[in-house]
Amino acid sequence: MPWAKIDDDAPHHPKFVKAGSIAAFGFWVAGNCYCNKRLTDGFIEASALRLLSPTVRPQQAPRLAQRLVSAGLWEAVEGGFRVHDFHQYNPTSEQVKAERNAAKERKDRWRERRSERSRNAVPHSSGTLSERRSPIVGNAVRNALGTMPTRARLPVPDPIPPTPLRVERVPATAEQRLAEFEVAFADRLLTHPQPSAFRAEVLRAAETWPSHALPPKATLLWFRDGAWHRQAS
């Protein structure tokens, strides 16, 4: 996009003072913008005067143009006007077109390089792009990855079925059997998927146990309390 270049001392230049109004200065700026946008090299057709600024009335545009000519800011030429010393501050149309073509070529080359990189890239490969391009570096990366230990997957344990507790009976005293039951029950209660249901099942089974198989203090209340280390003797 071309730019209309204006000297920051322009408002104080004697020619603008001679032009006599801010409207004339604004009309001159609008003329510069028109020339740069349409690449006219500073030429403004007479029929284009009313198009320079939407704030200038059509009948006012010729009078402002004449003020600029009288002040030496514009030159009256065949078919219209020319901005005085336009190319001293603004590039020629050929320079603007050449720069546009150069910018387009740079963009095309960049797009071509990016497309080539995308075609040559190996999908789902390890290493950076430069490593994938180099067979030596790429092989080294793959070999290094091949020697790295992999994390073994631990098997998922099957759920423990809610089977009733079976305490193997061995020839022993009632107190010994009770101590064995206490340990087995505590371990089973920690690993059972439904501890409350398991405890209730043990309580129901305790009601049917023969009294001679338990110590004297092993009552149903003792089972419900669950503190064998305090009850057992």
pLDDT of residue 170: 46
Q: Which two tokens stand for residue 231?
A: 């009850």
Q: In this structure, are 24 and 83 located in the same domain?
A: yes
pTM of the model: 0.46
For helices 22-38 and 61-70, angle between their N-to-C axes, nearest 10 degrees: 90
Establish if 165 belongs to a structural domain. Answer: no
pLDDT of residue 116: 81
Q: In this structure, are 74 and 102 located in the same domain?
A: no
pLDDT of residue 4: 78
Establish if 159 belongs to a structural domain. Answer: no
Say how many domains are in the chain: 3
158-204: pLDDT as tens digits: 665 555 555 455 455 656 766 777 777 777 777 878 878 877 887 77
Q: In this structure, are 82 and 105 located in the same domain?
A: no
Q: In this structure, are 14 and 82 located in the same domain?
A: yes
Q: Show the 3-state SS of the chain.
A: CCCCCCCCCHHHCHHHHHHCCHHHHHHHHHHHHHHHHHCCCCEEEHHHHHHCCCCCCCCCHHHHHHHHHHCCCEEEECCEEEECCHHHHCCCHHHHHHHHHHHHHHHHHHHHHHHHHHHHCCCCCCCCHHHHHCHHHHHHHHHHHHHCCCCCCCCCCCCCCCCCCCCCCCCCCHHHHHHHHHHHHHHHHHHCCCHHHHHHHHHHHHCCCCHHHCCCCCCHHHHHHCCHHHHCC
Establish if 65 belongs to a structural domain. Answer: yes
Q: In this structure, are 36 and 51 located in the same domain?
A: yes
Structural domain boundaries, residue 76: 10-89
Q: In this structure, are 113 and 80 located in the same domain?
A: no
Establish if 157 belongs to a structural domain. Answer: no
Establish if 56 belongs to a structural domain. Answer: yes
| Among candidate residues 89, 120, 135, the one where a domain is terminated | 89
Establish if 151 belongs to a structural domain. Answer: no
Q: How far apart are CA 64 and CA 67, in angstroms?
A: 5
Q: In this structure, are 24 and 48 located in the same domain?
A: yes
Q: In this structure, are 67 and 14 located in the same domain?
A: yes
Counting as low any pLDDT under 70, the low residues of the chain are 1-2, 121-175, 177-178, 207-233
- Ramachandran class of 59: left when φ > 0, alpha when ψ lies in -120 to 50, beta otherwise: alpha
pLDDT of residue 72: 94
Q: In this structure, are 24 and 71 located in the same domain?
A: yes
pLDDT of residue 230: 43
Q: In this structure, are 79 and 105 located in the same domain?
A: no
Establish if 168 belongs to a structural domain. Answer: no
Q: In this structure, are 85 and 14 located in the same domain?
A: yes
Establish if 163 belongs to a structural domain. Answer: no
Residue 69: Cβ-neighbour burial (10 angstroms; 0-12, 13-18, 19+): middle
